[in-house]
Chains A and B, each alone.
Chain A
Amino acid sequence: MAITAGARFEPLEWPSVNAAASKDTGDEPLVKAAQGGDRAAFGQLYQRYVRMVHGILLARVPSAAAEDLVHDVFLQALPKLAALRDVSRFGPWLAAIARNRATDFHRRTKPDCSLDDQAGVAEAPENPEREVAIEDSIALLNAVRELPEVYREPLILRFVEGMTGPEIAARTGLTHGSVRVNLYRGMQLLREKWQRHAPQAEKEKGL
C-alpha cells in the first residue's frame, strides 16, 4: 500500500497551527517576563488564558472539577515555563497541558465517572421556572459533551466562555479555517441533537 502521495499535492500551509495568529496575541513580552520570574506577567497571562483553559477542561470533565483543575493547569505550567523555547506558542502549549490534565483526571478517577453534569441543581432556588432553566442548561451542556471532541471544545469556548472564533484560533493556535469549520459543523450537530432532545424532555416533564 502506498497512502503516501505527497507528490500529487500542492505545497500546504501548516494546517493546524496558526503561526500568524499566535504572534498577534502579543504574549511574547509577557511570556519572556514570566520566564524571568515576573509574577505580575504570569498573572496577566492567567487573565488572558483562564477562559481558554477552563473551556478546554469543561469540554472534558464535570464543571465542578473543571473549576479546580484550572488552578492545577497554571500551577503545572509555571515551573515548566522557563523551558518553553518558542514563546509564540504559549497558547497551544498551555492548551495541551490543559487537555493532558483532563486526561489525567479521568485516569485517576473511577472508570464510571460520568461527564453528565449536575452542577447548579443543588443551588437552584425554589422557583420552578428557574429550576427548569437550570435543568435545561445542564442538559444542553451534556448534549455538547456528547458531540465528537473536535466540536466540543470550540462550542464551549464560544458559548460558555464567550470567546469569538478568531479569538479561539489565536489562543489555541488553530487555524481560522479549522475553528470555523468545527464551530459550524458542531453547531449543526448540536441543533439536531437538541431538537431531538427538547420534545422528549417536555414529554417527560408532562408539558
Chain B
Amino acid sequence: MKNDYLWDGSGEPDPELRRIEKSLVRFRHRGEMPDFPAIDFLPSKPSRFAFFTSGWTPRFAAATLLLLALTVSGLLLRLAPVELSNAPAWDVARLSGAPRVGNFSLASDSSKAQLRVGQLMVTDNSSRASLTVAAVGEIYVDPDSRVRLVESGSNHSRLALELGTIHAAIWAPPGEFVVDTPSASAVDLGCAYTLHVNEDGSGTLRTTLGWVGFHKDGHDSFIPAGAMCVTRPVQGPGTPYFEDASEELRSALHAFDFESLSASDRQQALRIVLAQARRRDAFTLWHLLFRVNDEERPLLYDRLASLVPPPAGVTREGTLALNSPMMDAWWNAFDLGDISVWRFWEQKQAPPLLKKAAR
C-alpha cells in the first residue's frame, strides 16, 4: 500500500507528524468570503471612437491643438525617429513631478500614458513614475532616470535602464523579465530588487526578495535577497556579497574585482576575504572560485568547504576543475535558489552564449 502521508496524505502519518498537523491546523484560514465590489471597473480597451462621441468642449479642443502642435514640433525636431512596434505597451503612472514618455509630459495627478517598445521614459530631479504590466510586475522609477522599453511579449519583457534607479517587483515566471544596463543585464529569477546606474555606466543591484542573475558576456553573478553586486562597464558584474558582510570583506572584494593589484596586494585581498567570510558568505566564495587563478583556487575550496561542506558527489578535484554539475550542486546546497532555473534561462538565450561556453 502506498504510504506517503507528507506528500499526498496517503497511508498513516507517524505520531510526530500527526502532532504537528494537529497543532498547526488551528491557524487555518476560517474567514468568510468578503463581498467583492462589482467587477465592472475592470479596465477594458477604450473605444477608439469614445473621444468623438463624448462631445467636444473648448478644453478638449485646446488640449488637442496643443498636443498636435507638440507632436508636430517633436517630429520635426527629432533627428532619429523611433520605430514603435505593436508589441504590448507598459502602463505608466505619474507618481510625482512631470515624468516624460516619448514626447509627452505627464504633468497632472490623473496623467497616465503607455510606454511602447522603443520609447524612452525620462524622470527629472523632481519626478517619479511607475511602470506596470499585470502579467509581469511593477517598476518604480526614481528621479533622474532614463528607462527604455526594449521588448514586450507574452513571455518576455526587456527594459534598458540607461541612467538612474528603478525598484522592480516581478511576478512573471523566472527568466522572463530582463533589465539591460550599460555594464550588465539583470535577469529576474523571482524577486524584488533595486537597480541603479551611474552616468559612467557602472551600477549596483540590491535584491530584497528572491534572487537575481546579473550577467555580461558569460560573466555571471547571482544575487540573493539581502545581497548586492557592483558592476563596471569593462569588467561586468563583480562578486556579490551580503550587505551585512564586514567592511573589511567588502573593501577587499571591491579591490579584488575592480582594481589593478600587484600580486602581493591581490593575495592580501584574497586572504582578508577568506578570513572575514562567515557561513552566510559561502555564496561569495563560490563566485570567487570562478574568478581566481589555479594557484589560488585550492585556498578558496578549503575555506568554502569549511563553511558549507560540499554535498555528496562534489569532489575537491572536480571543484578545482570547475566541473559545472558539481558547481551547480554546491550552489544548490546554499538554498538560495535553484540554479537549474538559471541554466534553463541560459539555454533559451542567443546561440553566441552557448558557442562561447563551448569554446
Contact for B36 among A17, A42, A165, CB less than 8 A:
A42
Let me know if B7 and A137 touch, CB within 8 A: no
Contact for A1 among B37, B38, B170, B291, CB less than 8 A:
B291
Q: Digit string of B1-35 for contact with A (CB within 8 Å is 1, else 0)? A: 00000111100000011001101111111010110
Let me know if B341 and A16 touch, CB within 8 A: yes
Q: Digit string of A48-79 for contact with B (CB within 8 Å is 1, else 0)? A: 00110011001000010011001100110011
Q: Which of B121-129, B248-256, B269-277, B349-357 contacts A (4 or more CB under 8 A)?
A: B349-357
Let me know if A194 and B356 touch, CB within 8 A: no
Let me know if A3 and B290 touch, CB within 8 A: yes
Chain B residue nearest in CB terms to A161: B28
Contact for B20 among A16, A58, A150, A194, CB less than 8 A:
A194
Let me know if B173 and A141 touch, CB within 8 A: no
Let me know if A82 and B33 touch, CB within 8 A: no
Cβ of A122 within 8 Å of any chain B Cβ, yes or no, is no
* Chain A at the B interface: SS class: helix
Contact for A89 among B25, B173, B327, CB less than 8 A:
B173
Number of contact residues on A: which range applies? 35 or more
Let me know if B338 and A178 touch, CB within 8 A: yes
Contact for A15 among B8, B31, B88, B338, CB less than 8 A:
B338
Cβ of B300 within 8 Å of any chain A Cβ, yes or no, is no
Let me know if B42 and A82 touch, CB within 8 A: yes
Contact for A160 among B24, B220, B325, B349, CB less than 8 A:
B24
Let me know if B344 and A15 touch, CB within 8 A: yes
State how many residues of chain B have any CB contact under 8 Å with chain A: 67
Contact for B357 among A7, A67, A89, CB less than 8 A:
A7
Q: Digit string of B232-259 for contact with A (CB within 8 Å is 1, else 0)? A: 0000000000000000000000000000
Enumerate chain B residues within 8 angstroms of A119, measured Cβ to Cβ. Answer: 27
Cβ of A97 within 8 Å of any chain B Cβ, yes or no, is yes
- Taking the closest CB of chain A, its distance from the CB of B43, in whole angstroms, is 5
- Taking the closest CB of chain B, its distance from the CB of A5, in whole angstroms, is 4
Enumerate chain A residues within 8 angstroms of B25, measured Cβ to Cβ. Answer: 159-160, 162
Let me know if A16 and B190 touch, CB within 8 A: yes
Task: For the complex, give the distance between the alpha carbons of A120 and B263 in Å.
Answer: 62
Let me know if B8 and A166 touch, CB within 8 A: yes
Chain A 89-121 interface residues, beta-carbon cutoff 8 Å to B: 89, 92-93, 96-97, 99-100, 103, 119-120
Most buried by A among B24, B209, B344: B24
Let me know if A43 and B29 touch, CB within 8 A: no
Enumerate chain B residues within 8 angstroms of A137, measured Cβ to Cβ. Answer: 23-24, 26-27
Task: For the complex, give the distance between the alpha carbons of A76 and B173 in Å.
Answer: 19
Cβ of A207 within 8 Å of any chain B Cβ, yes or no, is no
Q: Digit string of A1-20 for contact with B (CB within 8 Å is 1, else 0)? A: 11111111101101111000
Enumerate chain A residues within 8 angstroms of B38, measured Cβ to Cβ. Answer: 37, 39
Let me know if A2 and B174 touch, CB within 8 A: no
Let me know if B17 and A187 touch, CB within 8 A: yes
Enumerate chain A residues within 8 angstroms of B218, measured Cβ to Cβ. Answer: 1-4
Cβ of A144 within 8 Å of any chain B Cβ, yes or no, is yes
Let me know if B173 and A17 touch, CB within 8 A: yes
Chain B residue nearest in CB terms to A33: B39
Let me know if A5 and B324 touch, CB within 8 A: yes
- Taking the closest CB of chain B, its distance from the CB of A148, in whole angstroms, is 5
Q: Digit string of B111-140 for contact with A (CB within 8 Å is 1, else 0)? A: 000000000000000000000011101000
Binding site for A on B (CB under 8 A): 6-9, 16-17, 20-21, 23-29, 31, 33-34, 36-44, 88, 133-135, 137, 154-155, 169-171, 173-174, 190, 192, 208-209, 215, 218-220, 287, 290-291, 324-325, 327, 335, 338, 340-341, 343-344, 346-347, 349, 353-354, 356-358
> Can you show 29 pairs from A to B with CB atoms below 8 A apart?
A1-B287, A1-B291, A2-B219, A4-B346, A4-B353, A6-B357, A7-B354, A9-B343, A9-B347, A11-B347, A14-B173, A14-B344, A34-B39, A50-B31, A51-B28, A74-B34, A78-B39, A79-B42, A82-B134, A84-B135, A93-B135, A96-B137, A137-B26, A141-B24, A162-B28, A164-B7, A164-B9, A180-B7, A187-B6
8 closest Cβ pairs, A-B complex: A96-B171, A83-B134, A1-B290, A54-B29, A5-B324, A82-B42, A6-B346, A165-B7
